[in-house]
């Protein structure tokens, strides 16, 4: 039974809660699988040597590097120009990017294959998609903790910033993340749980899943922030090396007179002795905390910050392949819940004829989703993903969950 059937059985007036869950699951599936298509695109390019986002492409005359890329960075250029080919704003649609259409079709084909036999085939796929990310995270954790700057990243992770914590948007993002990772209010969880035996201990399962979910978030964050600390340290050192070169040339100091190790002491001495001359130089302001604050979130974290950090790691191809396989596994397991939250309600509502096989029904849903998601393969596609992510996957889930809790407590009754 789906979310619609469950809420109808509590009260016929609550069927709309189930329909709302189905609509949200459908809309989230559309943009979520688009992110998986981006992951596939990066995964296919991770086998190149060197990685395509590690250096700028040559210009049309092949006399130098692409000017747009040189003004930005190779990582930004590969993401915004070669992957998204993004337009200046959402009002300019741009053309359909054929490479993204192929990746999107591939992502939906994988989802369909996993759903061919319904819960039976998907249950087997979950064994891989749920356990493989833990293996990759453990490998990343061991590697990340040995990188220079990992400690700075961990200190940054566990040091609370009270100004950020006062921002209500942060708590909305946190609530949305928990709803996403626990599949609360999507309807897919209700559909899955309807296959449980009647004597199943649901309370125990709820506690176990909640604890494992939070523990996994913490476990993943240690790996991620260790690598972000490593990246920030590299940028910090590069910044100081530029200043060292500027100061060494200006004051005609011998090489190795000023190094990263004695930079602060030597800079303080020069600044105290020749303040006007130092002030006249175009030195960069190198602050490790600032570089740590520049760590992105969401798609920026996966496709810009993390890919940039991977370049600096020895054997970057291996780490890139592992990272994107892990992302695809995580996204695929999320898609299972979302699609189940659409398929089962459609059967409950009897929108499709009884004679239609499950495989055909699933194919129709996946095809409709794929065709709708073509809007995300336009030049303005990334803007539309942000719109869907900001408005579909946050407040609607909170509203649905509020009505679900109210219905269980006051209509169904807590004691029942």
Mean pLDDT of 137-152: 88
Q: Give the per-residue pLDDT at 34.
A: 93
pTM for the full model? Answer: 0.84
Q: CA 314, CA 232: separation in Å to the nearest integer? A: 17
- Among the listed ranges 31-40, 121-130, 178-187, 193-202, which one has the minimum average pLDDT value? 121-130
pLDDT at 375 (0 to 100) = 94
Q: 3-class SS at 392?
A: coil
Using an 8 Å Cβ cutoff, are 329 and 128 in contact? yes
Q: How far is CA 348 from CA 124, 144, 361, in A?
A: 24, 48, 13
Where is pLDDT greater, at 338 or 256? 338
Q: Average of pLDDT values for 335-341?
A: 84
Instruction: Please check whether residue 311 is in contact with residue 54, taking contact to mean a CB–CB distance below 8 angstroms.
Output: yes
Residue 383 pLDDT level (bands cut at 50, 70, 90): very high
Tokens matching residue 245: 């070169």
Please list, in sequence order, all residues whose beta carbon lies within 8 angstroms of the beta carbon of residue 113, skipping any fewer than 6 positions away: 121
Instruction: Look at residues 340, 325, 398 and name the one whose alpha carbon lies nearest to residue 29.
Output: 340
Render the burial of 63-80: b for 16+ CB within 10 Å, e for the rest.
eeebeebeeeebbbbbbb
Q: Is the pLDDT of residue 276 over 90?
A: no
| pLDDT > 90 in the chain, percent | 21
316-349: burial string, b at 16+ Cβ within 10 Å, e else:
beebbbbbbbbbbbbbbbbbbbbbbbbbbbbbbe
Burial letters 182-208, b for 16+ CB under 10 A, else e? bbebbbbbbbbeeeeeeeeeeeeeeee
Position 123 pLDDT exceeds 80: no
Q: Determine the straight-line distance between the first and last CA of the chain, rounded to whole angstroms.
A: 19
* pLDDT beyond 90 at 367: yes
What pLDDT sits at residue 298? 66
- Three-state DSSP at 65 gives strand
**Rounded Cα gap, residues 325 and 333, in angstroms:** 12
pLDDT of residue 43: 94
Span 322-333, mean pLDDT?
88
Q: Give the residue, 38 or 393, on which the prediction is more confident.
A: 38
Q: How far apart are CA 341 and CA 220, in angstroms?
A: 27
């Amino acid at each position: 039974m789906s979310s619609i059937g469950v809420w109808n059985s509590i009260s016929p007036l609550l069927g709309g809660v189930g329909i709302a869950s189905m609509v949200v699951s459908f809309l989230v599936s559309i943009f979520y699988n688009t992110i998986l298509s981006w992951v596939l695109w990066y995964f296919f390019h991770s086998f190149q040597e060197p990685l395509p986002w590690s250096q700028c492409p040559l210009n049309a005359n092949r006399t130098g590097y692409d000017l747009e890329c040189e003004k930005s960075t190779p990582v930004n250029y590969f993401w915004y120009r070669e992957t998204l080919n993004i337009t200046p704003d959402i009002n300019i649609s741009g053309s359909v990017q054929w490479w993204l259409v192929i990746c999107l079709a591939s992502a939906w084909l994988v989802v369909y294959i996993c759903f061919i036999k319904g819960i039976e085939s998907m249950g087997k796929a979950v064994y891989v998609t749920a356990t493989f990310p833990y293996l990759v995270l453990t490998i990343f954790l061991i590697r990340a903790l040995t990188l220079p700057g990992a400690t700075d990243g961990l200190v940054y992770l566990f040091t609370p910033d009270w100004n950020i914590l006062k921002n209500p948007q942060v708590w909305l993002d946190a609530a949305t993340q928990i709803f996403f990772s626990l599949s609360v209010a999507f309807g897919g969880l209700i559909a899955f749980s309807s296959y449980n035996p009647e004597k199943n201990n649901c309370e125990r399962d709820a506690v176990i899943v909640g604890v494992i979910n939070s523990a996994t978030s913490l476990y993943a964050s240690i790996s991620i922030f260790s690598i972000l600390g490593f990246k920030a340290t590299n940028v910090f050192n590069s910044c100081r090396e530029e200043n060292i070169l500027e100061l060494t040339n200006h004051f005609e100091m011998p090489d190795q007179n000023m190094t990263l190790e004695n930079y602060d002491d030597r800079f303080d001495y020069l600044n105290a002795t020749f303040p006007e001359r130092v002030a006249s130089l175009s030195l960069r302001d190198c602050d490790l905390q600032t570089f740590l604050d520049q760590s992105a979130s969401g798609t920026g974290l996966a496709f810009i910050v993390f890919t940039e950090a991977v370049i600096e790691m020895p054997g970057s191809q291996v780490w890139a392949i592992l990272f994107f396989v892990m992302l695809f596994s995580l996204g695929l397991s999320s898609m299972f819940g979302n699609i189940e939250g659409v398929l089962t309600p459609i059967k409950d509502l009897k929108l499709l004829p009884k004679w239609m096989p499950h495989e055909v029904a699933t194919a129709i849903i996946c095809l409709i989703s794929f065709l709708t998601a073509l809007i995300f393969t336009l030049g303005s596609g990334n803007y539309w993903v942000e719109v869907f992510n900001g408005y579909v996957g946050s407040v609607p889930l909170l509203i649905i969950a509020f009505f679900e809790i109210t219905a269980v407590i006051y209509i169904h009754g807590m004691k029942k």
